[in-house]
Amino acid sequence: AVRREGRGAGRLMSESESSRTAGEGCKAGAQGYLSKVLMSGQALRSAVQGSLERQNIRRETAKQNAMYEHMALHDPLTNLANRSLFEDRLSHGIDRAKRNNGKLAVLMMDLNGFKKINDTYGHDAGDAVLVEMGKRLQTCLRTTDTLARLGGDEFAILLEAIVDAADAYHVIRRVLATDDTPVNYNGAKLEIGMSVGFSVFPETTKTAEDLVQIADQAMYQAKRSHAGCAYPKGFVAPAKE
C-alpha cells in the first residue's frame, strides 16, 4: 500500500504481493519502501522523515541549479541577458528565420558620455545609469525580443520575426528617445546619449558573427558622426510619421 504522511509529503510503499500495486505506488511518486514485518511506528516515522529530507534536498538542489544557470546567462548588475545568452538566442533566431523564410535584426548600442559620468560622479553613478537605461530600453521592446548588456556601456537587441528593416528603424527611434530624460542620481541630473547601429538578416548578411560585426561597425560610425544612428548599406530610412 502507498502511505502518505501530510500534505505534500513524500510517499512510502509497503511490501505487497501485487506487482500492480507496486507499479501504482511508483507512479504515485513512492520514495521509500517498508517491509510489513518492520513497519513499527518508529520505523514508519523514520522512513517518512528520511523521505521528506531527500525530497527537500532535491528541491533545494533544483533551486540552486536554476539560480546558477540564471547567473551564468545574465548580467549581474542589470539582470539582462549577457553576451552568451544573446549569442545563443541569435543563433536559434537565425535558424527559425531560415525555416520560416523570416527576418530578424540586430541592434548594437553604446552610451555617449558614460565615461564622463564615471569620472565625475563615480562608478556607483555609472552603475545607476546602466540599470536605468536597461529599464528604459526594455520598454521599447516586445516580450519576444531580447535585450542584453554585452559589457561596459554596450547593449544589444535582437528583434525576431520582423517584416522588414523598417520595423527595426521604428524600434531605433524609440530607443533613441530613451535618453531624452536625464538620469536622476542623488539629486544630480546625468545627461546621457545613445549611438545605435543595426543589421538585418538576411539582407545585410546571413551569419550571426557578421550581423553583430556590421551592426557594431555602424554603431561606431554613428558615434563618430554624432548621428544617433547609422544604417546598413543600402537602407533608406522611412519618412517620419
Catalytic residues: 153
* Exposure string for 135-169, b = 16+ CB within 10 A, e = fewer: ebbeebbeeebbbbbbeebbbbbbbbebeebebbb
Compute the distance between CA of residue 165 and CA of residue 103 in angstroms, rounded to an integer.
Answer: 9
Residue for grid cell 500495486: 21
Contact 43, 34 (CB under 8 A): yes
Contact 187, 200 (CB under 8 A): no
Residue 161 region, left (φ>0) first, then alpha (ψ -120 to 50), else beta? left
Q: What are phi and psi of 27, to 5 degrees?
A: -65, -35
